[in-house]
């Protein structure tokens, strides 16, 4: 276990408004897979506030997995499963239980576009057939081909300077990719700091396309 836990100021700021929205859309007893858990601040906050839900954190980075495990153990969060080391590009995902929802914050803009496709395809395979089939994405988006705020435009520029495959994604492009996997937009909430929380729901009668 870690003696000093990594800390994300952004996660600390946005965890409360995200939780408020999650409590509106997730079933009270939902089983939720979190992709890209990072430091574990989000899942620890959500699980503590919603003890009847079950959370499965995951992250590709071993240090983040350890941080999440330590944080949740210290908080005695018995409704959080041990975090998985999981990269969305891996197929199939090593997830034991089917889930009601997949939650992912601040990943798709700091990863190549292929990660968005892999995230949505993987979610379709782990969501149980008789559940609500929700995919919840949080972060900055462009809308109508434009940034929603100067701060997001500056952020996008800095991301692309670090890696040309990164960048703030067009909501319409993500929505189209989700539709190809059998999901439609269920709801959209505008959160502080010019971020969106977009909820996709699996369309009735849809089937999961073959893995890309």
Task: Tell me the average pLDDT across 63-79.
Answer: 97
5-17: average pLDDT: 93
Euclidean distance between CA atoms 64 and 76, whole angstroms: 18
70 pLDDT tier (thresholds 50, 70, 90): very high
The three state secondary structure string of 149-160 is CHHHHHHHHHHH
* Of 127 and 205, more confident: 127
Beta partners for residue 137, in sequence order:
104, 198
pLDDT score at 210 = 46
Mean pLDDT calculated for residue range 148-161: 97
Q: Give the chain's mean pLDDT.
A: 94
Give dist(CA 54, CA 32) in Å, integer. Answer: 6
pLDDT, residue 4, reads 78
1 pLDDT higher than 80:
no
Residue 25 has pLDDT above 60, yes or no: yes
Domains of the chain: 9-201 (3.40.50.150)
The 10 Å CB-count burial string (b at 16+, else e) for 178-202 is: beebbbeebeebeeeebbbbbbbbb
pLDDT of residue 207: 59
**Ordered DSSP codes for 114-165:** HHHHHHHHHHHHHB-TTS--EEEEEE-EEETTEESSHHHHHHHHHHHHH-TT
Cα–Cα distance measured from residue 152 to residue 154, given in angstroms and rounded to the nearest whole number: 5
The arithmetic mean of pLDDT across residues 61-90, rounded, is: 97
List pLDDT tens digits, range 161-208: 999 999 999 999 999 999 999 999 999 999 999 999 999 999 887 655
Q: pTM of whole model > 0.85?
A: yes
C-beta atoms surrounding 53 within 10 Å? 21
Residue 2 — very low, low, confident or very high, per pLDDT cuts 50/70/90? low
């Amino acid at each position: 276990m870690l003696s000093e836990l990594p800390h994300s100021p952004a996660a600390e700021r946005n965890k409360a408004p995200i939780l408020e929205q999650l409590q509106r859309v997730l079933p009270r007893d939902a089983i939720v897979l979190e992709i890209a858990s990072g430091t574990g601040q989000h899942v620890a906050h959500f699980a503590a506030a919603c003890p009847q839900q079950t959370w499965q954190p995951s992250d590709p980075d071993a240090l983040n997995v350890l941080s999440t495990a330590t944080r949740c153990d210290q908080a005695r969060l018995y409704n959080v499963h041990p975090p998985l080391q999981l990269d969305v590009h891996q197929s199939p995902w090593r997830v034991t239980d089917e889930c009601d929802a997949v939650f992912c914050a601040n990943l798709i803009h700091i990863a190549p576009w292929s990660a968005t496709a892999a995230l949505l395809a993987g979610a379709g395979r782990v969501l149980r057939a008789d559940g609500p089939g929700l995919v919840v994405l949080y972060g900055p988006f462009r809308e109508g081909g434009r940034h929603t705020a100067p701060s997001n435009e500056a952020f996008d520029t800095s991301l692309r300077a670090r890696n040309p495959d990164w960048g703030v994604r067009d909501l319409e492009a993500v929505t189209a990719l989700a539709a190809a996997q059998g999901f439609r937009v269920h709801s959209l909430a505008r959160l502080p700091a010019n971020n969106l929380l977009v909820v996709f729901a699996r369309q009735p009668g849809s089937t999961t396309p073959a893995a890309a």
